């Protein structure tokens, strides 16, 4: 079963709304979709010419969908780029609950 299209669109809109137009030449929030999860990534423009022209990518959070229960679970990323279940928030049928928690960013776990 594919990811719910409406939820994917909600996360895409959320990503686009977080970065002002005036800053998008330097930083962007984007969504990488896989079969059962969405990964929110921060992309930054190259800041030194000797590093090349590729934008750097840093995963921020992962939202995993469980089709049998129709719920989303939030995961946080550690310094080794591994994802772990974000225990303070139980799985939710509303993807907005996960996005709200990322926005709240208690303890700086998502945005440092």
- Would 108 be classed as within a structural domain? no
Instruction: State the DSSP string of the chain.
Output: -PPPHHHHHHHHHHHHHHS-GGGTTTEEEEEEE-SSEEEEEEEE--SSGGG-SPPEEEEEEEEEEETTTTEEEEEEE-TTS-EEE-TTS--BS-HHHHHHHHHH-GGGTTT-
- Would 71 be classed as within a structural domain? yes
- Would 98 be classed as within a structural domain? yes
Entry pTM: 0.92
- Would 79 be classed as within a structural domain? yes
- Would 110 be classed as within a structural domain? no
- The number of distinct structural domains making up the chain is 1
- Would 18 be classed as within a structural domain? yes
pLDDT by residue for the chain (112 residues), tens only, comes to 689 999 999 999 999 999 999 999 999 999 999 999 999 999 999 877 777 788 999 999 999 999 999 999 999 999 999 999 999 999 999 999 999 999 999 989 998 7
**Domain of 9, in residue numbers:** 5-103
- Would 89 be classed as within a structural domain? yes
């Amino acid at each position: 079963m594919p990811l719910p299209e409406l939820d994917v669109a909600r996360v895409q809109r959320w990503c686009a709304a977080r970065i002002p137009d005036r800053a998008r030449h330097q930083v962007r929030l984007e969504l990488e979709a896989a079969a059962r999860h969405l990964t929110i990534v921060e992309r930054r423009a190259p800041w030194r010419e000797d590093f090349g022209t590729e934008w750097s990518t840093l995963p921020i959070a992962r939202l995993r969908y469980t089709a049998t229960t129709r719920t989303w679970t939030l995961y946080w990323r550690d310094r080794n780029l591994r994802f772990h279940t974000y225990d303070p928030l139980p799985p939710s049928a509303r993807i907005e609950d996960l996005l709200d928690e990322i926005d709240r960013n208690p303890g700086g776990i998502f945005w440092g």
